Amino acid sequence: MKLSALLLFCAASVAQELNTRTLVFETESSQNYVTLEPLKPLSLSSFTLCLRVATELPQQQREIILFAYRTQYYDELNLWRELDGRISMYLSGNGVFFTVPALGPMETHLCITWDSQSGATSVFVDGKKSLAKIYGKNHTVRSGGTVLIGQDPDEYLGNFDAGQSFVGEISDINLWSYVVPRSVIKQIANGDMSQSGDVIDWKEVKMQITGDVKLTTTNV
Ligand code: CA
Ligand code: CA
């Protein structure tokens, strides 16, 4: 291959990698949501969940669902921004709460890591790690459910509440079945490294949109 052709080829593959899909939820509703099809069942004794999020919903107005994984009777793995701005996670029971820099209209890279054996749970905001909390020790996330973005189901699969819906932009949703090292999370957050989840791979994930959710392609 000639050098010029090689350069063109490299430029093309870089350009391809730099495109990312973004979900845009413009309005508050109890009808708009997106289901994601994971690569394998969510039978998890540890995980890392990352996403990029931006919202103009002010704090102290209401809570916002960021990620929901629901089986028949349980919210198996739900990530929230609480009314007071804290980030919380619920693994089919009481939640764990983190006081972190506020999400807002500028994009934030948000991750949460959890390990059943130790119960160690940490949040990462733009690559910076929170303190660890002990939560859900010896628990296992069960398979057989559905991953939803935009709504919090209170039954399988519905009973959505507009007052908890997501409004804003969300992208780069990746889920790993293990705790990703903090150095890697930092590089992903900074855009220095691209790594896909082995359970949800944002680059490839099949999604089904219900209602008014826009899918845009952003060149990063
Ligand atoms: Ca609800
Ligand atoms: Ca729920």
Q: Specify the DSSP class assigned to residue 186.
A: H
140 three-state secondary structure: coil
Check if CATH label 1.10.260.40 holds for domain 3-219.
Answer: no
By the 10 Å C-beta count (0-12 exposed, 13-18 middle, 19+ buried), 104 is classed as middle
Whole-structure pTM value: 0.92
Contact status, residue 205 vs residue 173, Cβ threshold 8 Å: yes
Q: What gap in Å lies between CA 153 and CA 92, rounded to an integer?
A: 13
Q: How far is the CA of 32 from the centre of ligand 1 (A)?
A: 14
Q: Tell me how far the alpha carbon of residue 59 lies from the centroid of ligand 2, in angstroms.
A: 20
CA of 159 to the centre of ligand 1 (A): 7
Q: 15: CA distance to ligand 2 center in Å?
A: 39
Structure tokens at 146: 């559905």
Is 54:64 a contact under the CB 8 Å cutoff? no
pLDDT of residue 10: 45
Reported as a single tens digit per residue, the pLDDT across 24-37 is: 999 999 999 999 99
Measured in Å, residue 77 CA sits from the centre of ligand 1 at 13
Instruction: Point out the ligand nearest to the CA of residue 78.
Output: 2
- Provide the sign of the torsion angle of the four alpha carbons 116, 119, 123, 127, taken in this order: negative
The CA-atom distances, in angstroms, between 21 and each of 113, 196, 197 are 23, 14, 15
| Tens-place pLDDT, residues 100-141 | 999 999 999 999 999 999 999 999 999 999 999 999 999 999
Ligand of minimum distance to the alpha carbon of 70:
2
Please report which ligand is nearest the Cα atom of 30.
1
Predicted confidence (pLDDT) per residue in 53-64, tens digit? 999 999 899 999
Read off the amino acid at residue 200.
I
